[in-house]
């Protein structure tokens, strides 16, 4: 299975976001008035099932997908899923002007110059952005992903009895969600930070134009690990503390500083990424930041990022322009937990023709 074109119209796929701590599922219906949410749900997976983005044990993931579909009574078995991490390379490059047929033939040779993997080990795809005037060159986005990484995700979907039709990239799923819900101004430079359990996806856009992306191996698990170590509690207790709105009385004085220390580390990694982005492009400074993912709800993180970068920071709302129709969905999904489903919604925007 190849990687996909991420900017085409979408319909008839269920978005399945396979994260390090849970599987999230979203089904949308498209119509003349836009998109309507028809199903949404999530199922946790055992700790250490997925480590550093690698699926260590496939059966629990397949069971989580199957359980979610059964609970939601989803009949559509056609799936869009996504990958990220160090096995995925995304670069904006320029190549000599040529036809798409010629580019199809030459893209693997072009890719060899930019990726650190053996070309035989990866699947390669590209998206033409534009012709560059007076240079006889074209600008495109090159994507390469290890075949093993793609197979890991498609195989667990197949094990769950579903059909994997599209493999996307987490950062591009976020791109779709942001573009559809916020209709950004052409000149606005925004950073999307999707902070999951193990990985933070950073995607920088100017309006609807993709500029830069990087995946950072840091996320919500770091909060859990710091709490567990500093408070001498179990992993389960640390996870509960991290997610609670009020802290246990015996640790109330310690917890804010522990969370703050991890938030500072996350922000430092984001800052390094922003600085590198500035040295490699001529785009203006980042003007706004949108955060999503389970760890984005960590107490104090949003405020700290806003103070650190001196730009507005808000939660990415994947349902801002999605109609919930006449059905009633869990309030926490549509409100407090909505940013957790950003990638899944972006995947549900895909089309079966995106191959």
Is residue 1 within 8 A of residue 65, CB to CB? The reply is: no
Residue 246 structure tokens: 């009020």
The pLDDT, as a whole number, for residue 41 is 96
Which pLDDT belongs to residue 2? 38
Q: Which CATH number fits domain 14-224+259-348: 3.30.450.20, 3.40.50.12280, 3.30.420.40, 3.40.50.300?
A: 3.30.420.40
Give the list of residues 6+ apart from residue 5 with CB closer than 8 angstroms, or none. 125, 127, 354
Instruction: Look up the pTM and report it.
Output: 0.92
Buried b (16+ CB within 10 A) or exposed e, 221-236: bbbbebbbeebebeee
Residue 251: the pLDDT is 84
Dihedral, CA of residue 236, residue 217, residue 68 and residue 159, to nearest 10: -120
| CA triple 194-45-85, angle to 5 deg | 40
Collapsed DSSP state (helix, strand, coil) of residue 142 = strand
Domain ranges of the chain: 14-224+259-348
pLDDT digits (tens, 9 = 90+) for 99-117: 989 999 999 999 999 999 9
* Per-residue pLDDT at 77: 96
Contacts of 36 (CB under 8 A, 6+ apart): 28, 29, 30, 322, 323, 324, 325
What pLDDT score was predicted for residue 12? Answer: 76
Which ranges of the chain have pLDDT less than 50? 1-10, 355
CA nearest neighbour of 340 among 26, 46, 7, 77: 26
pLDDT at 52: 80
**pLDDT tens for residues 114-160?**
999 999 999 999 999 988 888 889 999 999 999 999 999 999 999 99
- pLDDT at 3 (0 to 100): 46
The upper half-sphere exposure of residue 185, i.e. CA atoms within 13 Å in the direction of its Cβ, equals 5
């Amino acid at each position: 299975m190849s990687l996909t074109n991420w900017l085409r119209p979408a319909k008839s796929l269920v978005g399945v976001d396979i994260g390090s701590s849970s599987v999230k599922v979203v089904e949308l219906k498209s119509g003349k008035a836009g998109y309507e949410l028809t199903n949404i749900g999530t199922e946790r997976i055992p700790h250490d099932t997925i480590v550093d983005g690698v699926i260590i044990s496939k059966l629990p993931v397949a069971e989580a997908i199957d359980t979610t579909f059964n609970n939601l009574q989803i009949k559509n078995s056609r799936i869009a899923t996504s990958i990220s991490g160090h096995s995925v390379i995304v670069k904006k490059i320029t190549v000599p002007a040529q036809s798409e047929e010629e580019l199809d033939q030459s893209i693997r040779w072009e890719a060899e110059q930019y990726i650190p993997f053996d070309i035989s080990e990866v699947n390669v795809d590209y998206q033409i952005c534009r012709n560059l005037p007076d240079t006889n060159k074209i600008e495109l986005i090159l994507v390469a992903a290890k075949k093993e990484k793609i197979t890991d995700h498609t195989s667990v979907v197949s094990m769950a009895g579903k059909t994997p039709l599209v493999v996307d990239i987490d950062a591009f799923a976020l791109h779709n969600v942001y573009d559809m819900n916020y209709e950004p101004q052409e000149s606005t430079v925004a950073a999307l930070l999707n902070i999951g359990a193990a990985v933070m996806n950073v995607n920088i856009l100017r309006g609807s134009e993709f500029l830069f992306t990087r995946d950072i191996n840091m996320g919500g698990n770091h909060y859990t690990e710091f709490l567990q170590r500093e408070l001498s509690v179990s992993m389960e207790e640390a996870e509960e503390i991290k997610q609670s709105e009020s802290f246990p009385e015996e640790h109330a004085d310690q917890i804010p500083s522990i969370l703050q220390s991890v938030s500072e580390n996350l922000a430092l990694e984001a800052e390094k990424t922003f600085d590198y982005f500035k040295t490699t492009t001529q785009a203006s400074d980042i003007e706004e930041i949108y955060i999503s993912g389970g760890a984005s709800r960590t107490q104090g993180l949003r405020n700290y990022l806003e103070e650190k970068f001196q730009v507005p920071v808000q939660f990415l709302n994947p349902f801002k322009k999605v109609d919930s129709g006449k059905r009633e969905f869990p309030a926490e999904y549509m409100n407090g937990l909505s940013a957790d489903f950003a990638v899944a919604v972006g995947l549900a925007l895909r089309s079966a023709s995106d191959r």
